[in-house]
Amino acid sequence: MRLDKFLGQFDIGTRKQIKEYLKNGRCSVNGTVVTKPDIHVDENTDEISFDGNVLEYSKYHYYMLYKPQGVVSATTDGRNTTVLDLLQDENAKGLSPAGRLDIDTEGLLLLTDDGGLIHRLLSPKKHVDKVYEVHLDHELSDKDIAALEKGVNIGDTKDTGEIDYTLPARVELWDADEEGRPVVHLIIHEGRFHQVKRMMEAVGNEVLFLKRLSMGPLKLDESLVPGEYRPLSAEELKQLGV
Protein backbone atom coordinates (compact mmCIF):
# COMPACT_ATOMS: atom_id res chain seq x y z
CA MET A 1 0.00 0.00 0.00
CA ARG A 2 1.27 3.52 -0.78
CA LEU A 3 2.28 5.43 2.31
CA ASP A 4 0.03 8.40 1.56
CA LYS A 5 -2.96 6.08 1.12
CA PHE A 6 -2.15 4.37 4.41
CA LEU A 7 -1.97 7.70 6.25
CA GLY A 8 -5.19 8.86 4.60
CA GLN A 9 -7.11 6.07 6.32
CA PHE A 10 -6.35 7.66 9.69
CA ASP A 11 -8.08 10.95 8.84
CA ILE A 12 -4.78 12.83 9.21
CA GLY A 13 -5.49 15.19 6.36
CA THR A 14 -6.03 15.51 2.63
CA ARG A 15 -3.57 13.87 0.26
CA LYS A 16 -2.02 17.30 -0.40
CA GLN A 17 -1.65 17.95 3.34
CA ILE A 18 -0.17 14.49 3.92
CA LYS A 19 2.41 15.14 1.20
CA GLU A 20 3.44 18.32 3.04
CA TYR A 21 3.57 16.51 6.39
CA LEU A 22 5.89 13.90 4.89
CA LYS A 23 8.19 16.62 3.50
CA ASN A 24 8.44 17.98 7.02
CA GLY A 25 9.64 14.61 8.35
CA ARG A 26 6.63 13.83 10.52
CA CYS A 27 6.38 10.17 9.49
CA SER A 28 8.71 7.23 9.99
CA VAL A 29 8.65 3.61 8.83
CA ASN A 30 10.42 1.07 11.02
CA GLY A 31 12.24 3.91 12.77
CA THR A 32 13.43 5.68 9.61
CA VAL A 33 12.00 9.05 8.59
CA VAL A 34 10.30 8.83 5.21
CA THR A 35 9.52 11.90 3.11
CA LYS A 36 8.13 10.45 -0.11
CA PRO A 37 4.38 9.72 -0.34
CA ASP A 38 4.62 7.08 -3.07
CA ILE A 39 6.78 4.52 -1.27
CA HIS A 40 5.04 1.23 -0.57
CA VAL A 41 4.66 -0.14 2.94
CA ASP A 42 3.40 -3.42 4.35
CA GLU A 43 0.52 -2.31 6.55
CA ASN A 44 0.53 -5.63 8.38
CA THR A 45 4.21 -5.85 9.34
CA ASP A 46 5.81 -2.39 9.08
CA GLU A 47 5.78 -0.08 12.10
CA ILE A 48 4.52 3.25 10.82
CA SER A 49 4.56 6.31 13.10
CA PHE A 50 3.18 9.81 12.67
CA ASP A 51 4.37 12.51 15.05
CA GLY A 52 5.86 9.75 17.18
CA ASN A 53 2.61 7.78 17.51
CA VAL A 54 2.47 4.26 16.07
CA LEU A 55 -0.50 3.81 13.74
CA GLU A 56 -2.23 0.44 14.12
CA TYR A 57 -3.70 -0.71 10.84
CA SER A 58 -6.91 -2.69 10.64
CA LYS A 59 -8.63 -3.66 7.41
CA TYR A 60 -12.02 -3.54 9.09
CA HIS A 61 -13.41 -1.56 11.99
CA TYR A 62 -15.95 -2.67 14.59
CA TYR A 63 -17.80 -0.48 17.10
CA MET A 64 -20.46 -1.30 19.67
CA LEU A 65 -22.93 1.56 20.04
CA TYR A 66 -25.61 1.93 22.69
CA LYS A 67 -28.12 3.49 20.32
CA PRO A 68 -30.34 6.01 22.09
CA GLN A 69 -33.93 6.81 21.21
CA GLY A 70 -34.40 9.63 18.72
CA VAL A 71 -31.48 8.56 16.50
CA VAL A 72 -31.98 6.79 13.17
CA SER A 73 -30.07 3.66 12.15
CA ALA A 74 -28.84 5.14 8.88
CA THR A 75 -25.62 6.51 7.41
CA THR A 76 -27.21 9.77 6.23
CA ASP A 77 -30.47 11.55 6.98
CA GLY A 78 -31.58 15.05 6.12
CA ARG A 79 -33.67 15.60 9.25
CA ASN A 80 -32.55 13.34 12.08
CA THR A 81 -29.32 12.53 13.88
CA THR A 82 -27.85 9.29 12.54
CA VAL A 83 -25.89 6.60 14.36
CA LEU A 84 -22.78 7.65 12.39
CA ASP A 85 -23.17 11.21 13.70
CA LEU A 86 -22.54 9.78 17.18
CA LEU A 87 -19.06 8.57 16.15
CA GLN A 88 -17.70 12.10 15.96
CA ASP A 89 -14.20 11.14 17.11
CA GLU A 90 -13.77 8.35 14.55
CA ASN A 91 -13.26 8.12 10.82
CA ALA A 92 -16.73 6.74 10.07
CA LYS A 93 -16.17 6.45 6.32
CA GLY A 94 -17.51 3.12 5.09
CA LEU A 95 -19.20 2.15 8.36
CA SER A 96 -22.74 0.80 8.32
CA PRO A 97 -25.10 -0.48 11.01
CA ALA A 98 -25.56 -4.25 11.14
CA GLY A 99 -29.34 -4.15 11.01
CA ARG A 100 -31.59 -1.33 12.08
CA LEU A 101 -33.35 -0.26 15.23
CA ASP A 102 -36.44 1.94 15.03
CA ILE A 103 -35.97 5.59 15.95
CA ASP A 104 -37.80 5.03 19.27
CA THR A 105 -35.88 1.82 20.06
CA GLU A 106 -32.61 1.78 21.98
CA GLY A 107 -29.88 -0.74 22.65
CA LEU A 108 -27.12 -2.68 20.97
CA LEU A 109 -26.04 -1.71 17.48
CA LEU A 110 -22.91 -2.92 15.71
CA LEU A 111 -21.27 -0.48 13.29
CA THR A 112 -18.71 -1.92 10.90
CA ASP A 113 -17.29 -1.83 7.38
CA ASP A 114 -17.05 -5.64 7.33
CA GLY A 115 -19.82 -6.52 4.90
CA GLY A 116 -19.27 -10.24 5.31
CA LEU A 117 -19.94 -10.07 9.04
CA ILE A 118 -23.06 -7.96 8.50
CA HIS A 119 -24.39 -10.58 6.10
CA ARG A 120 -23.69 -13.43 8.52
CA LEU A 121 -25.47 -11.63 11.37
CA LEU A 122 -28.53 -10.60 9.37
CA SER A 123 -29.22 -13.61 7.15
CA PRO A 124 -32.33 -15.45 8.40
CA LYS A 125 -30.68 -18.68 7.22
CA LYS A 126 -27.97 -18.22 9.87
CA HIS A 127 -30.58 -18.15 12.70
CA VAL A 128 -28.62 -15.58 14.71
CA ASP A 129 -30.41 -14.86 18.00
CA LYS A 130 -31.48 -11.26 18.58
CA VAL A 131 -32.65 -10.65 22.14
CA TYR A 132 -34.98 -7.76 22.96
CA GLU A 133 -36.21 -6.41 26.29
CA VAL A 134 -39.88 -5.65 25.70
CA HIS A 135 -42.10 -3.64 28.05
CA LEU A 136 -45.76 -4.38 27.33
CA ASP A 137 -49.14 -2.83 27.92
CA HIS A 138 -50.39 -6.01 29.63
CA GLU A 139 -49.25 -9.53 30.40
CA LEU A 140 -49.00 -12.18 27.72
CA SER A 141 -51.29 -15.16 28.16
CA ASP A 142 -50.11 -18.71 27.69
CA LYS A 143 -51.98 -18.67 24.37
CA ASP A 144 -50.15 -15.51 23.29
CA ILE A 145 -46.77 -17.03 24.16
CA ALA A 146 -47.58 -20.22 22.29
CA ALA A 147 -48.55 -18.20 19.21
CA LEU A 148 -45.37 -16.11 19.28
CA GLU A 149 -43.24 -19.21 19.71
CA LYS A 150 -44.95 -20.92 16.79
CA GLY A 151 -44.97 -17.91 14.43
CA VAL A 152 -47.57 -15.18 13.91
CA ASN A 153 -49.15 -13.33 11.01
CA ILE A 154 -47.81 -9.77 11.00
CA GLY A 155 -49.28 -8.90 7.59
CA ASP A 156 -46.41 -10.07 5.39
CA THR A 157 -47.05 -12.30 2.39
CA LYS A 158 -44.83 -14.52 0.25
CA ASP A 159 -44.50 -14.15 -3.53
CA THR A 160 -47.16 -16.83 -3.85
CA GLY A 161 -49.63 -14.73 -1.88
CA GLU A 162 -49.50 -17.01 1.15
CA ILE A 163 -49.16 -15.58 4.65
CA ASP A 164 -45.49 -15.23 5.59
CA TYR A 165 -45.58 -16.14 9.27
CA THR A 166 -42.68 -15.08 11.49
CA LEU A 167 -40.11 -17.72 12.34
CA PRO A 168 -40.62 -19.42 15.70
CA ALA A 169 -39.50 -17.10 18.52
CA ARG A 170 -38.78 -17.65 22.19
CA VAL A 171 -40.42 -15.75 25.05
CA GLU A 172 -38.85 -15.44 28.49
CA LEU A 173 -40.96 -13.82 31.21
CA TRP A 174 -39.11 -11.14 33.18
CA ASP A 175 -39.80 -8.87 36.15
CA ALA A 176 -42.14 -5.91 35.87
CA ASP A 177 -40.57 -2.49 35.30
CA GLU A 178 -40.63 0.46 37.72
CA GLU A 179 -44.10 1.40 36.54
CA GLY A 180 -45.43 -2.11 37.06
CA ARG A 181 -45.62 -2.95 33.37
CA PRO A 182 -44.84 -6.56 32.39
CA VAL A 183 -41.44 -7.16 30.80
CA VAL A 184 -40.41 -10.07 28.60
CA HIS A 185 -37.31 -11.02 26.68
CA LEU A 186 -38.15 -11.90 23.09
CA ILE A 187 -35.61 -13.88 21.07
CA ILE A 188 -36.06 -13.75 17.29
CA HIS A 189 -33.92 -14.70 14.27
CA GLU A 190 -35.18 -12.20 11.71
CA GLY A 191 -35.12 -8.45 11.23
CA ARG A 192 -38.36 -7.52 9.54
CA PHE A 193 -39.70 -3.96 9.55
CA HIS A 194 -41.01 -3.08 13.05
CA GLN A 195 -41.03 -6.82 13.70
CA VAL A 196 -41.21 -6.93 17.50
CA LYS A 197 -43.96 -4.32 17.63
CA ARG A 198 -45.95 -6.08 14.91
CA MET A 199 -45.57 -9.46 16.60
CA MET A 200 -47.00 -8.08 19.82
CA GLU A 201 -49.81 -6.36 17.92
CA ALA A 202 -50.59 -9.74 16.35
CA VAL A 203 -51.43 -11.10 19.82
CA GLY A 204 -53.35 -7.99 20.87
CA ASN A 205 -50.64 -6.28 22.87
CA GLU A 206 -48.63 -3.05 22.59
CA VAL A 207 -44.90 -2.40 23.00
CA LEU A 208 -44.29 0.56 25.31
CA PHE A 209 -40.48 0.34 25.44
CA LEU A 210 -38.03 -1.68 23.39
CA LYS A 211 -34.31 -2.32 23.85
CA ARG A 212 -32.00 -4.74 22.03
CA LEU A 213 -29.77 -6.59 24.48
CA SER A 214 -27.74 -8.87 22.23
CA MET A 215 -27.10 -10.06 18.69
CA GLY A 216 -25.54 -13.47 18.39
CA PRO A 217 -22.65 -13.66 20.87
CA LEU A 218 -22.38 -9.86 21.09
CA LYS A 219 -24.00 -8.44 24.24
CA LEU A 220 -24.67 -4.81 25.05
CA ASP A 221 -22.06 -3.40 27.41
CA GLU A 222 -24.23 -2.04 30.21
CA SER A 223 -21.40 0.28 31.31
CA LEU A 224 -22.21 2.33 28.21
CA VAL A 225 -24.93 4.95 28.45
CA PRO A 226 -27.21 5.73 25.50
CA GLY A 227 -25.17 7.50 22.83
CA GLU A 228 -21.81 6.06 23.92
CA TYR A 229 -19.76 3.58 21.91
CA ARG A 230 -16.49 1.68 22.01
CA PRO A 231 -14.42 -0.58 19.74
CA LEU A 232 -15.12 -4.27 20.09
CA SER A 233 -12.67 -6.14 22.30
CA ALA A 234 -10.39 -8.89 21.00
CA GLU A 235 -12.55 -11.45 22.80
CA GLU A 236 -15.75 -10.11 21.18
CA LEU A 237 -14.13 -10.21 17.75
CA LYS A 238 -13.07 -13.79 18.39
CA GLN A 239 -16.63 -14.73 19.39
CA LEU A 240 -17.88 -13.18 16.13
CA GLY A 241 -15.35 -15.20 14.16
CA VAL A 242 -13.32 -12.27 12.82
Query: What CATH number does residue 35 fall under?
Result: 3.10.290.10
Q: Looking at residue 124, what is its pLDDT?
A: 78
Is the CB of residue 24 less than 8 Å from the CB of residue 59? no
Q: Looking at residue 32, what is its pLDDT?
A: 95
What is the spatial distance between Cα 141 and Cα 203, in angstroms, rounded to a whole number? 9
Q: Does residue 240 lie in a domain region?
A: no
Q: Does residue 242 lie in a domain region?
A: no
The pTM of the full predicted model, rounded to 2 decimals, is 0.81
Q: Residue 23 is part of which domain span?
A: 3-54
What is the spatial distance between Cα 132 and Cα 238, in angstroms, rounded to a whole number? 23
One domain, residues 211 and 133: yes
pLDDT in tens, 130-172: 999 999 999 999 999 999 999 999 999 999 999 999 999 999 9
One domain, residues 109 and 89: yes
Nearest to 36 by CA among 24, 45, 48, 54: 24
Identify the bridge partners of residue 232 per DSSP, sorted by sequence position.
none
Q: Looking at residue 78, what is its pLDDT?
A: 82
Residue 210 burial (CB count, 10 A): 21
Identify the bridge partners of residue 186 per DSSP, sorted by sequence position.
132, 171
In total, how many domains does the chain have?
2
Indicate left, alpha or beta for 101 from its phi (over 0: left) and psi (-120 to 50: alpha).
Answer: beta
Indicate left, alpha or beta for 200 from its phi (over 0: left) and psi (-120 to 50: alpha).
Answer: alpha
Q: Does residue 139 lie in a domain region?
A: yes
User: Which parts of the chain sit beneath pLDDT 50?
Assistant: none
Q: Looking at residue 56, what is its pLDDT?
A: 80
Catalytically active residues, by annotation: 102
